[in-house]
Structure 1
Amino acid sequence: MKDVQEIPYDIWRLIFEYTCTDGGLSGCALARTSKTLRALSASTRFYSLTLSSITEVKNFLVCLERIHRAEHAPSPPTQGSSSTNRDSSGTSANAESSNPAGAHPIHHLLIAFLPDTCDAPQRAFRRWTDYARDERGLVFQLANDHKAWAAHKAHWNRECVLHVSRLLQLAAPTLRSLAVLQCAEIRLPLVHYQPHRFPFLRELTLLADDRLFVRAPGGGALVPNQNDPSDFDLHGVPEGLPPLGAAPFPALTHLHVVCAGPKLHPWEKTLPMWSAIAPAVTHLRISQAGARTPAVLAEMLGVPPLPTPPEDGIGESEVAEGEEPLAAVQAQEPEPEPSYPSLETVIVQMSSARKTNRAEDPSLRELQHIADVCEAEGGHAPRVAILRGRTYVPGYWESRLKWEWQSRMVGGGGCWTEDEDHENVWKDFSGVEQPKRSKKSRNKVSISIRETREESSEASAAEAGKPGKKWWKVLANGVPRLNRRRSMTVK
């Protein structure tokens, strides 16, 4: 085997790019291996990066600044060196110091501010024995608890605006994919990102909300026990859309939105605003879409609304003289112009656990109307794909989006495959092989994402392999039906 030092740098770069796809762990391991690998992996060490709290963001920024200072520290002058060389080297070092991420580019970034890992202050409730018994004392305690939490959350919001804005500024020149995972319990503030351009950002994934980038005009819908100071205090960040021709995401082509949980400004208000932020999006996916999504999608694609059928008991003959039928009036109306003309493929997956017939559900009927109109137009009309509606267990989207974010780095299809099997089975992206179950044990063990059961799957699987059925198993599966004749003969 040849010496490691004889391997060309281009091969090393490919090896490091395929290695550093786990969110930064492999990059840290390469930096601690040896000085040679640390130098070779400098440009790919932060190829992918996962951050789950403001503390991690601050630590990464400090680490990046220290690495930059160590690499660009002025070397001591040697004998015979001219002052011109020293001045030129100092000038170049100062020019490079303005961008600490220049030699350590970030290509794939995932920000996951979730309750399990994020350091955001959460609402703490006392034990029921610690609350006052009278109404006045109880209100006083609740008001003080909320005031203390709001103060901590306001401080955390300021830290988030400062450090996340700096992180996006450093990653903007080289960033290719970005995923922001959030939830209703931790509401994020609006950050500074519009002054920077992301020329290579191709894919963006948003879970539950887009409040990190967009704020619709107006106060919004206040959600009980979920609002915080970030809904009202923007910390000096402008909430308006960027001016025409200055879109921060000019190269974004794939946008995936997961409508999970309530938000300050609903998706039907904020989703059309993305045409000014990312005007080149060609693939749009809306997962767990609500009942108002088809109407917004029709406006974005320029599809006329579904004709409303006449009321029962009113026929064409009962139309008053001088009045035209409703179908004729709708036919005379000009076709609306699409508000998002760059869209080519739209994938919609409604949020529903029931196997509802499309003829009965008005949302599905309107969505199917949009797909039929786009298919009939042909040519340059966008294609609308409708996936079957489902419900998911808690934590499903967090795990799936992380897996898809990693798979897209190495050329995986991710959520754009339009495969029903990929949407249905948890093992397709968890990598866990589950044994096949018979019809009798199908209700005991649940690995499908469409069902949520309270019992433990490991205990149920172990019990399903034992022969016979004991009385406690019968009670665990539900109260059995009693045979009335046999129960009457028991003495």
Structure 2
Amino acid sequence: MAHPPVTPPPSLPMPVHRLPVELLENIFSYACMGGGSTGRSLSLVSAHFREVARPIRFRCVSLSSLRHIKSFLACLTRERSHTKVRVRHLFLSTWRDGEDVVRIRTGRVPRSGILGNPGPRDGPRWSVWMPVQEALDRELSHLIPFLLRAIASNLCTLSIVHSWEFGAIQLPESFPLLRQFTFCGPAPMFPGGCPRLRPPPSPCFPSLQHLHIVCGTVSIEFWLHHSPAVTHLRLSDLNCASGTLVEELRCSLGIPLGRPLPERSSRPPFAHVRLQPRAAVSPEYYQTSTVEHNTFVEHLKSLRPHPSVRVEVMRDRHYRDGYWDLRIHRDWQDGVVSSPGWWVGGEELEEEENELYSNLDGDGHNLETPEKTITFWV
């Protein structure tokens, strides 16, 4: 009589701690793309997980306040004594610190608790906000350049949202690997001085291809000198105060002044230039400003570069305070794994994004989301 075949016992699932290190590293690298939260959680699971996640959790870093910057720098210094840490993707924002300064100046309680026990709300506190603003500005003007110098050599994507309440950021000499850069706020200080000097300063961003600048008074002369390989340029929130912009665009696009483009002109480096003006103020009160705005937009629309270059003037829009901080952070996350929405979407996507972030209070904070005060760099 034949015996039935022996069925082997079912194999027990392998504990995740016993997976090969190479496999864990691959899993962790996909998980640690949120800016710090997942990497911190993994490092707290066990000593083994902490060692595997140690270099990986720093690849994608999101810092949204001075407090976050301080804790990250302390953590980075500590971790670099154990292993070689490379930051590939950085989002950096001082928007919330700037909003705290505004709240103090207008007699409201800051969200971060920077004043400790603020006492009763008795109107604008002029004797308080100026020392707070100056102290924050001093720390940021020291720590942000220090941070950028510490990680610039390995950065691939960078997004900075800098509050207008603080001074300009001093950029380090070189970001050799940077491919995508979004900057919102007052123009930074570039190393080496004016690009018209002879010899001109070396470019900061020799490999940069996608550049997005959010600034109403932008001048692109310094930006383009330091980004010689850029192919995609977007300028957002533009207004007629950008007095030299039209002429700078003409020069960079190879459009001769006062005459049509020659048929055999050389191709400029750009593939796509996207211009998004800010909506004009109400004509009921500022008729002159509206005329200037309309003239500015018409000049942008009149740009006719080489046929291979796509120049797109988007519909002008007005955005709530805090919109760009939230939007840039989301697009930075998208850019870590794919292409950000600055380039792949058109007017419909812009309208969707505007509606998505319309649920903001007067300070640009989401009314449905609690304020994030935790730091992941401990």
* CA contact 1:244–1:276 (8 Å) conserved in 2: no
Match of 1:208 in 2: 185
C-alpha separation between the residues in 2 aligned to 1:12 and 1:240?
48
The 8 Å contact of residues 120 and 156 in structure 1, kept in 2 or not, is answered as no
1:421 maps to 348
- Which of 147, 170, 181 is the equivalent residue of 1:191? 170
Report the alpha carbon displacement of residue 35 of structure 1 after superposing the two structures with TM: 0.9
Q: Which residue of 1 aligns with 2:218?
A: 267
User: Cα deviation per residue 1:268-305 (whole Å; 9 max; x = unaligned)?
Assistant: 3xx11112222211110011222344343223212134
Q: Cα 1:120–1:28, aligned 2, differ >3 Å: closer, same or farther?
A: farther
Q: Percent identity?
A: 27
**Amino acid of the residue matched to residue 320 of structure 2?**
V
Whether the 8 Å CA contact 1:258–1:286 is kept in 2: the answer is yes
Secondary structure of the equivalent of 1:391? coil
Q: Secondary structure at the match of 1:62?
A: helix
In the alignment, what sits opposite 1:104? 85
> Does 1 or 2 have the higher relative contact order (CA < 8 Å, sep 6+)?
2
2:136 paired residue among 156, 179, 199: 156
Counterparts of 1:239 and 1:152, CA distance in 2: 31
2:56 pairs, out of 19, 26, 44, with 44
Match of 2:300 in 1: 367
Alignment of 1:50-65 (within 5 A): 50-65=62-77
Which amino acid in structure 2 is aligned with residue 404 of structure 1? D
Whether the 8 Å CA contact 2:279–2:316 is kept in 1: the answer is: yes
Q: In the alignment, is the contact (CA less than 8 A) between 1:259 and 1:267 conserved in 2?
A: yes
For residues 333 and 154 of structure 2, the distance between their equivalents in structure 1, rounded to whole angstroms, comes to 17
Change beyond 3 A, Cα 1:368–1:118: closer
The equivalent of 1:247 in structure 2 is 203
Map 1:34-433 to 2 at 5 A: 34-69=46-81, 71=82, 103-115=84-96, 124=105, 145=126, 152-184=132-164, 186-194=165-173, 197-211=174-188, 213-214=189-190, 240=194, 244=200, 246-260=202-216, 266-268=217-219, 271-291=220-240, 292=243, 293-305=245-257, 330=259, 341-352=268-279, 361-370=294-303, 373-374=304-305, 377-378=306-307, 381-426=308-353
Indicate conservation of the 8 Å contact 1:199/1:249, yes or no. Answer: yes
Contact 2:88–2:157 (Cα < 8 Å) also in 1: yes
1:46 CA displacement: 1.3
Task: Give the Cα–Cα distance (whole angstroms) in 2 for the partners of residues 6 and 416 of structure 1.
Answer: 43
The number of residue pairs the alignment matches comes to 321
For 2:99 and 2:53, the matched residues in 1 are separated by 29
- Contact 1:50 1:111 survives alignment (8 Å): yes
Distance 1:150 1:172, change over 3 A: same
Contact 1:344 1:382 in 2 (8 A): yes
Query: 8 Å contact 1:346–1:383 — kept in the other structure?
Result: yes
Task: Flag structure 1 segments of 5+ consecutive residues without an equivalent.
Answer: 72-101, 128-143, 215-236, 261-265, 308-329, 431-446, 459-491
In the superposition, relative to structure 1, how do residues 120 and 170 fare at CA in structure 2: closer, same or farther (>3 Å)? farther
Q: Which residue of 2 aligns with 1:234?
A: none
Superposed displacement of residue 126, structure 1: 6.5
Partners of 1:367 and 1:427 in 2: CA distance:
23
Provide the rounded CA distance (Å) in 1 between the counterparts of 2:146 and 2:67: 14
Following superposition, the deviation at residue 423 of structure 1 comes to 0.3
Mark the structure with the bigger radius of gyration. 1
Relative distance call for 1:362 and 1:119 in structure 2 (3 A) is: closer
C-alpha spacing 1:51/1:259, structure 2 compared with 1 (3 Å): same
Equivalent residues of 1:20, 1:44 under 8 A apart: yes
Please tell me whether residue 4 in structure 1 is matched to residue 16 in structure 2.
Answer: yes
Q: Partner amino acid for 1:181?
A: V
SS class of match (2:325) = helix
What SS does structure 2 have at the residue aligned with 1:172?
A: helix
User: Following TM superposition, by how much is the alpha carbon of 1:17 offset from its aligned partner in structure 2, in angstroms?
Assistant: 2.4
